[in-house]
């Protein structure tokens, strides 16, 4: 059971609830507790007492596994916290689905209170991203129409000047690749809008931002969520996401050239120091240049296990130092747009 979750999550295993108590009190709040029914009923009194004491711990959902039906018990637990019961035998995919649903539930609940289209933009992209993850794990191609459709409210929110709010509201979702993709898609759409890209083509830019890192679904979790800077081997593994994305898109119908080129070139740099091909100058597609700036900005302003979130100004300073590597015209435009979008905020996280 642990191994089927480690592909998607960082999992700590405890042989008793007593042993798990320090994890509840640790600096990183768990996104989910998976517990056996027998353990929960017989030995978890102290553990549950601590869990229900604080609001933040109360929010942690519980996935209970067991051999027979325990409807009544689960109903009682549901009164105090979010819980789901999985009766054995269950498929690994059922376990992963239940876990994904529970882990994302608290933040997605908060989205329900947002204005209608902001809520739609986040809900539809989250649903689509889960569908993408499922297909990638099964080795299936993606449905481009679904992705374009799910990106439409996001694009419309950007057109109405609500991009900054979108990026603010998506943060805190447990799925970092999803959060990163929404932020990159939002920034790329802002940039594309500013240079006059419209309609169908603008939606392609949004979809390209959403899809360019889907290959990370195949990247091992210990690399994705490494608490330290990546070592040489981990870096090689991380860089492979470009190839993974390429393979996923190759298997999918209706992928436009724009989406493909962004996925292939978003880590390339003007001076040839990027990857995977070390392309230089004019060989770099313009959409991919948008993607590179948006991607670096997001990576810097994200809080990660190995680094704090950079402020808006810190991130811009880093980008300015990369003058030989990223498009200076687009960077100037990017600064203007993001500054305007965040006019009422002092930092971007």
Q: Among residues 126 and 291, whose Cβ is nearest to Fe ion?
A: 291
Q: Least distance to Fe ion from the beta carbon of 213, Å?
A: 4
Q: Among residues 103 and 184, whose Cβ is nearest to Fe ion?
A: 184
**Which residues are within 8 A (CB) of 324 and not within 5 positions of it... i.e. 6 or more apart?**
269, 270, 271
Q: Least distance to Fe ion from the beta carbon of 257, Å?
A: 18
Note the residues at the interface with Fe ion (CB under 5 A): 213, 295
Q: Among residues 57 and 309, whose Cβ is nearest to Fe ion?
A: 309
Q: Among residues 120 and 295, whose Cβ is nearest to Fe ion?
A: 295
Q: Among residues 213 and 264, whose Cβ is nearest to Fe ion?
A: 213
Q: Among residues 133 and 213, whose Cβ is nearest to Fe ion?
A: 213
Q: Least distance to Fe ion from the beta carbon of 276, Å?
A: 10
Q: Least distance to Fe ion from the beta carbon of 10, Å?
A: 19
Q: Least distance to Fe ion from the beta carbon of 242, Å?
A: 6
User: Tokens 């009194």 correspond to what residue?
Assistant: 45
Q: Least distance to Fe ion from the beta carbon of 299, Å?
A: 6
The pair of structure tokens assigned to 103 is: 């882990």
* Number of residues assigned to the chain: 349
């Amino acid at each position: 059971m642990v191994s089927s979750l480690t592909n998607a999550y960082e999992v700590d295993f405890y042989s008793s609830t007593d042993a798990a108590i320090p994890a509840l009190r640790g600096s990183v709040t768990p996104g989910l507790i998976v517990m056996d029914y027998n353990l929960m009923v017989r030995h978890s009194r102290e553990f549950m007492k601590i869990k229900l004491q604080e609001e933040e711990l109360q929010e942690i959902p519980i996935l209970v596994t067991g051999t027979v039906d325990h409807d009544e018990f689960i109903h009682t637990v549901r009164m105090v916290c979010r819980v789901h019961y999985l009766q054995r035998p269950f498929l690994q995919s059922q376990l992963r689905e239940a876990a994904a649903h529970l882990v994302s539930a608290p933040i997605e609940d908060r989205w329900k209170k947002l204005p209608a289209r902001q809520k739609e933009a986040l809900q539809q992209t989250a649903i689509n991203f889960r569908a993408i993850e499922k297909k990638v794990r099964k080795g299936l191609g993606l449905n481009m129409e679904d992705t374009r459709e799910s990106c439409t409210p996001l694009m419309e929110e950007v057109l109405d000047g609500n991009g900054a709010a979108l990026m603010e509201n998506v943060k805190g979702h447990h799925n970092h690749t999803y959060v990163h993709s929404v932020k990159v898609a939002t920034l790329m759409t802002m940039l594309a809008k500013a240079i006059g890209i419209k309609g169908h083509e603008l939606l392609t830019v949004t979809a390209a931002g959403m899809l360019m890192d889907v290959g990370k679904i195949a990247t091992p979790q210990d690399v994705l969520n490494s608490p330290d800077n990546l070592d040489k081997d981990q870096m090689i593994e991380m860089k492979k996401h470009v190839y993974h994305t390429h393979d996923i898109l190759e298997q999918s119908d209706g992928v436009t050239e724009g989406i493909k080129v962004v996925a292939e070139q978003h880590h390339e740099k003007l001076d040839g120091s990027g990857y995977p091909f070390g392309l230089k100058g004019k060989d770099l597609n313009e959409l991919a240049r948008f993607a590179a700036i948006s991607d670096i900005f997001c990576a810097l302003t994200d809080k990660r296990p190995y680094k704090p979130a950079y402020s808006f100004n810190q991130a811009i300073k880093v980008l300015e130092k990369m003058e030989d590597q990223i498009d200076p015209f687009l960077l100037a435009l990017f600064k203007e747009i993001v500054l305007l979008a965040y006019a009422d905020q002092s930092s971007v996280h």
